[in-house]
Amino acid sequence: SLLINLYSSEISEWETGLEGREIDITDWPLDSLHKDRYTSPPWNSTLKVLGYGAEFGFYTFDLNQNNNTYLGNPPNPARPNPRWPNPMGYTVAQSGIIHDGGYPLRHAIAHCVNRSDIINHIGYGKPLCTIVPPSLSKYHNPSVDCHPYNLTEASRILDESGMFPFDAIEGRRFWDRNRNGIKDLGESLALKLVARIDHQPRDIMGTLLAIELEKIGVHVDIFHLTITAARIQVYTNADFHIYTGSASVDLDLTYLLGWNWDYTTYCGCNKDAYNHAAEGVQYANTQDDAVVNARIAQEVFCDAVMGVPVLYIEGFKAMSRTYVGHEDPYEGEKWYGIVNQPG
C-alpha cells in the first residue's frame, strides 16, 4: 500500500516527515539550507539527495493591470475595483490613438526582478523569461525579451515616461496623473504587493522585489498572507498590484488562458493579440499550429509585460536510504533507487 502524509509546510515535511522517518521521500524541492544539511554528516548516512531535473511548474510576479472602474467581465457595478485608478493599467489618448499607459511602470518592474539573486536566496530553480518553461519542449520560445535586471534602465523608463517623477520632499516617485510636475491629491504611488508567507520561496521573492523597487523610488506596501487570505485578496477581490504567483502547467497548455480576459479577469490582462494566440493553441488543428500560437502568445506576453516570469523549478529532493515502514520483508531494507518521471 502507498501512504501519503500531508504536512503544514515544506519545512515540516522535511524535518518532521523525512527526518522523523515518517516518510521515505519528499515531494517538495529542497532549499539550499536543507540540501546542504542532507548532503553532510550525519544526515548523509541515512538520507540521499537526488537531482530530478525540471518540473512543469514555475513562479511569476502577477501584475494587476485592470483599468476598469468595476471588476468582472463585463464590469459589474456591484463590484468596485479596489485598485482603481491603477498606475499599472490605465489608458492614455495621444493623437487620437489609445495607448497602454501602465506599460512603463510594468516594464520598469520587470527590470527590477533580479532572478539570480532570488534563486540564490531560495536555493533552487533556473531563470525563466517566459510563461512556457523549457520542459514543454518545442512550445517553449527561447527568443522572448527577458527584460534583464537593470535598475538604471528601470529608472530611465520611469523618467522618460513623464508619469512617475520624484517628489522632492518625500524622495519617492508619485503618479503624475495630470502631468503638471507637482504631486497633487490622489497622486501618491504605493504598490500593494501580496506575498505567500506560508510558501517560503514566494515570500522571499516578494521581499526581494520590494527592496529593488524602493531603490528606484517606487514605494511598496508588502502583505505577507497565507494561502487562504491571499486567494481572497488576489483572486476574489483583485485587491493587489503585484502577487507572487505560481503555475503548474499542463501538456495541452490550457493554462495559457489564465491571462486571457475572456477566461480569467483577476489580473486584468486583456491584450487582443495574446487572447487570440492563447485560444489558437486550444483550437489548433495541428500540433504545428499549436506551437506557432504558443510562441506568439509568449512574445506578446513578454513584450507587453503582462506579468514577470521568474524561475522554473529544477532542483533536488531527499529520500531515506532505507524503507521506513514495518512490513516484512522490507523493513530496514535499502531502496534500489528512484525512477524519475519528468514533469
Residue 259's contacts (CB-CB under 8 Å, 6 or more residues apart) are 131, 267, 269, 274, 278, 301, 306, 307
pLDDT digits (tens, 9 = 90+) for 233-285: 999 999 999 999 998 888 889 999 999 999 999 999 999 999 999 999 999 99
Sheet with 190-196, edge to edge strand ranges: 126-127, 307-320, 47-63, 242-248, 190-196, 219-225
Strand duo 219-225 + 190-196: pairing = parallel
pLDDT the model gives residue 342: 54
CA gap 312, 248 in Å, rounded:
10
Burial class (CB in 10 A: 0-12, 13-18, 19+), 31: buried
Read off φ and ψ for residue 66, nearest 5 degrees.
-70, 120
Q: Is the peptide bond before 74 cis (omega within 30 degrees of 0)?
A: yes
Please give the average per-residue pLDDT across 40-66, as a whole number. 91
Distance of alpha carbon 249 from alpha carbon 132, whole angstroms: 8
In whole angstroms, what is the distance from residue 330 CA to residue 319 CA?
A: 16
Please name the residues in contact with 326: beta carbons below 8 A apart, sequence gap of 6 or more.
Answer: none
Q: Is the pTM of this model over 0.85?
A: no
Q: What is the pLDDT of residue 1?
A: 67
89-98 per-position pLDDT tens digit: 998 877 777 7
Note the pLDDT of residue 70.
Answer: 97
